[in-house]
Amino acid sequence: MKLKRILDGDGHIIERDTELFEYLDKPYAGNDTLLGYPFFPTLDGYNRGAMMARLGIHKSYDITPQVWLDVLDKAGIESTVLYPTAGLAFAMIQDPAWAVAQQLVRRPLPWQEQAAARHGAGSASRRA
């Protein structure tokens, strides 16, 4: 029996601190000191960006909404559910004030939708 629909249930977005920075509230809003350290801890202590650079796995790691749509189209996948990647480590944040301030986890949709619009991919929900 030939499958007629393929749905991806475990896609990932890459949250870049510089993109998420603009969505923080005071006292963090506009405070560039934050960009000196990662917003989220790693789950296992590995810096995957350093590993990929050393091994030459990716020439670029710009995973934009358009890149996602192109991959889905090329693979014949109808839609995907996107999850955070770095945000999976939210529960490991030790500073309660920073954890509460992390508007990024509580309301990621404005960032995702605006990122999609910036890259000309339209609404992220249009594939569902």
Euclidean distance between CA atoms 89 and 67, whole angstroms: 24
**What is the distance, to the nearest Å, from the Cα of residue 2 to the centroid of all Cα atoms in its chain?**
33
pLDDT at 125: 46
Dmax (CA) for the chain in angstroms is: 57
pLDDT in tens, 25-62: 888 889 999 999 999 888 888 888 888 888 888 777 77
All residue ranges of the chain with pLDDT < 70 are 1, 3, 103-128
Provide the token pair at 2.
């030939």
Contact 104, 39 (CB under 8 A): yes
pLDDT at 32: 92
pLDDT at 116: 65
Euclidean distance between CA atoms 35 and 72, whole angstroms: 32
